[in-house]
Structures are given as structure tokens and as C-alpha cells.
Structure 1
Amino acid sequence: MANSAQARKRARQAEKQRAHNASLRSTLRTAIKKVRKAIEAGDKAAAQAVYQQSVSVIDSIADKRIVHKNKVSRHKSRLSAQIKALAA
């Protein structure tokens, strides 16, 4: 446990930041799930619309370094490929 006032404050700040980051990670996962659900429905136009909305959310979370930019790129690439495969 933290003994000094400075260490107690840092512990409080760390907990607050952890909760905020967890919330943003949850938002990221929800955005990805929305796109996957639209893809499973089979409607390419709807899936593309949901994908465009989700990309801005996903990119903003990557800009804040909540998750690594390469992980975000990988998710976007795979979702995009799945949407393109709907027409084929």
C-alpha cells in the first residue's frame, strides 16, 4: 500500500485512468461487434455504413494509444475484407 501522500495520489490517479481506458477498450470492442453483426446479416450496404461509423471510433481510440495502431489496422483490414467478400 502507498505510504506517502504522493504515492497515494498516484494510486488514485492510476485507478481513475485505468477505469477510463477500460471504458474506451469496451467502446472499441462494441464498435467491432457492430460491424461483425452487420456482416453476418449479409447486407453489404448496411455493413459498409456501420463500418464507416466504426472506423472513426476505432481510429480515435488508437490515437489515444489505448490499443496499438497495428492491432487497429489489423481489425480494420479484416473487417473490410469480410465486407468486400459479401458481394462475391
Structure 2
Amino acid sequence: MANTSSAKKAVRKMARKTEVNRARRSLVRGFLRKAEDAITAGDKAAATEAVKAAEPVMMRAVSKGIYHKNTASRKISRLNKRAKALG
């Protein structure tokens, strides 16, 4: 356990930040899951809309430090590729 007051404060800050990051990560996963479900269902219009909705949420998570930029770009790119492949 932390001994100094500054260390105790740091523990409190980390706990708050962890909760915020967990909520943001969960939000992103929900959007990605909707996109995945639309793609696997084979509905091109719904898949395109879901991917368009997921992209800004994913990039916002990047700006908040939840994901690395390349990770988000890779995921969005792969989702777009799969959505466009639907016929």
C-alpha cells in the first residue's frame, strides 16, 4: 500500500482513470461488435453504416490514449474491406 500522501493520491487518480478507460473501451467494443454482426449477417447497407459509426468512436479512443493509432487504423481498414466485399 502507498505510504506517502502523493502516492495515495496517485492510486486514487489511477483508479478513476481506469474506470473511465474501461467504459471507453467497452463503448468501442460495442460499436465494433455491431459492425461485425452486420458484416456476418451479409447486409451491405447496415454493415457500411455500422463501420461509418464505428470509425469516429475508434479514433476518439485513439486520441484519449485507449488504443494505438495503428491498431485503430488496421481494425477500421479491415472492417471497411470486409464491408465492401459484401455483394
* TM-score, length basis structure 2: 0.94
Q: Note the aligned Cα RMSD (angstroms).
A: 0.9
Count of residues in Structure 1 that have an aligned counterpart in Structure 2:
87
Question: Percent identity over the alignment?
Answer: 39
Corresponding residue of 1:10: 10
Q: Structure 1 stretches (4+) deviating beyond 3 angstroms?
A: none
Corresponding residue of 1:75: 75
- Alpha-carbon distance, 1:48 to partner: 0.6
**1:1-88 mapped onto 2 (5 Å cutoff):** 1-87=1-87
Task: Specify every segment of 5 or more residues in structure 2 that has no aligned partner in the other structure, as ranges.
Answer: none
* TM-score, length basis structure 1: 0.93
2:61 and 2:50 map into 1 onto residues whose CA distance is: 17
Task: Specify every segment of 5 or more residues in structure 1 that has no aligned partner in the other structure, as ranges.
Answer: none
